[in-house]
Structure formats: structure tokens, C-alpha cells
Chains A and B, each alone.
Chain A
Amino acid sequence: SQELEQSPQSLIVQEGKNLTINCTSSKTLYGLYWYKQKYGEGLIFLMMLQKGGEEKSHEKITAKLDEKKQQSSLHITASQPSHAGIYLCGADIDGYALNFGKGTSLLVTP
């Protein structure tokens, strides 16, 4: 099965700092999804990447998929307390469901 490894497992950054979260697959990614989850709540869809080299941005969050389509990064610029939560990457499994990484917990301190 396709394994997704996320790093780091947790992250504490000072407000205003930039940060990057990585998601690495053992196999080629044909659809890579980024979600955000606040503790005890459902997942919020952020972005989807499909093409090698693709990059998408939403407000201060940018996601990239490398040319080999085996690694994706999520970059947050000038982090704010509202960015705190758990970020999960997910990828299509055999065309019917998503397989998720274990998540990266982000805490933004004042």
C-alpha cells in the first residue's frame, strides 16, 4: 500500500515566521491533497495537486508537488495563530479512497 510520511511530526513557530511541512510517498502520487484539522474537528480541504512541478497558493499557504510526483511541501508564510492545527496530506489509493499521513501538528506562539 502507499505510505505517506509527513515531517516534522510537530512544529512550534513564532508568529510571523515561515514554515514548511513535507509529505513523502514511496510511490508516484497521482493526486495529492492537503487538509487542515483543528483538534476535535473535521478536516478542511486546502488544496489538491496533480501535475509534477505544480504549485498552488491560497492566502499565505503554498503547496508544491515535485517533478517526480513523490514529494509535496506545504509552506506557510508569516504564520499566524489561525494557522495552528494539524496538517495532513492524503493521496489517492487505487482510485477509490485517500490514504493519509499521520499529520503535522503546528503551534504558533505569540
Chain B
Amino acid sequence: SQTIHQWPATLVQPVGSPLSLECTVEGTSNPNLYWYRQAAGRGLQLLFYSVGIGQISSEVPQNLSASRPQDRQFILSSKKLLLSDSGFYLCAWSVLLGSEQYFGPGTRLTVT
């Protein structure tokens, strides 16, 4: 069966520090991968999605970037964190674009 992992589970980082969040999927090949951010009262915001290795589409211009170095690995990064980057980051995968997505357990990021 397919599983999706995210780490770390929680992270507290000072403003201006770099960020790297990792997401990996097991049990499937060539998944579509997504990064979402969930902030209080604002719902889920799609940040990036990827249809294959090295292919990244950005939905919202911001302080973050994403990379997909391997088929089942998706990384969310920042060179310098802002206070507004705080939130709950969720990774998801799907078989088809626009079809049901399966979510990881999330990473709670607090920027201080």
C-alpha cells in the first residue's frame, strides 16, 4: 500500500534562517506531488505541485521554493524565513492530476 511521510513533524525556526521540509511517498511510481500551507482561518493554500522529477509549478509567488530530486521525494525550501511563513505544511500525492489526493501527516512550522 502507499504511504506518505513528512518530516520533521514540528519545527521552530528564527526569522532569516533557512528551511528544508521533506516529503517522501512509498508504494507508487511517478506520483503527482503537492505542497499546501494551512494557516488559521485561511484554509488550505496550494503552494507547488510537480508532475515529475525536476518539474515544479508554483502557484503563489512567495519566499518559498520546491524541488523534486527523485521520483518520490518532494522538498520545500526557503533561504530566509519570514514570520508569515509560519503555518502547517502538508504534502500530498495523487495518481492523476485533479483526482483525489492523499495527504501526509504535516509539519507545523513556527517562525519566531
Real complex partners, A and B?
yes
Give A residues with C-beta under 8 Å from B.
31, 33, 35, 40-45, 48, 88, 90, 92-103
A41/B43 in contact, CB under 8 A: no
B97/A96 in contact, CB under 8 A: yes
Give the distance in Å from the alpha carbon of A44 to the alpha carbon of B6 in the complex: 15
Would you list which residues of chain B between 10 and 49 have a CB under 8 Å from chain A?
A: 32, 34, 41-44, 46, 49
A102/B42 in contact, CB under 8 A: yes
* Chain A residues with CB below 8 A from B57, complex form: 96
B41/A40 in contact, CB under 8 A: no
Give the distance in Å from the alpha carbon of A64 to the alpha carbon of B12 in the complex: 41
Name which residue of chain B comes closest to A102, CB basis: B43
B103/A43 in contact, CB under 8 A: yes
Please name 16 further chain A to chain B contacts, defined as beta carbons within 8 Å, in addition to the given A98-B98, A102-B41, sorted by A numbering: A40-B88, A42-B103, A43-B92, A45-B100, A45-B101, A48-B100, A88-B44, A90-B44, A93-B98, A95-B97, A96-B49, A96-B97, A97-B46, A97-B59, A97-B97, A100-B43
Give B residues with C-beta under 8 Å from A.
6, 32, 34, 41-44, 46, 49, 57, 59, 88, 90, 92, 97-106, 108
Give the distance in Å from the alpha carbon of A61 to the alpha carbon of B101 in the complex: 19
Give the distance in Å from the alpha carbon of A95 to the alpha carbon of B46 in the complex: 14
Q: List 13 A-B contacts (CB under 8 A).
A: A31-B98, A31-B99, A33-B101, A40-B88, A43-B103, A45-B100, A48-B100, A88-B43, A92-B98, A97-B49, A99-B46, A100-B44, A102-B43
Majority DSSP secondary structure for residues of A touching B: strand
Q: Which of A40, A45, A95, A101 contacts B98 (CB 8 A)?
A: A95
Q: Which of A40, A95, A97 contacts B108 (CB 8 A)?
A: A40
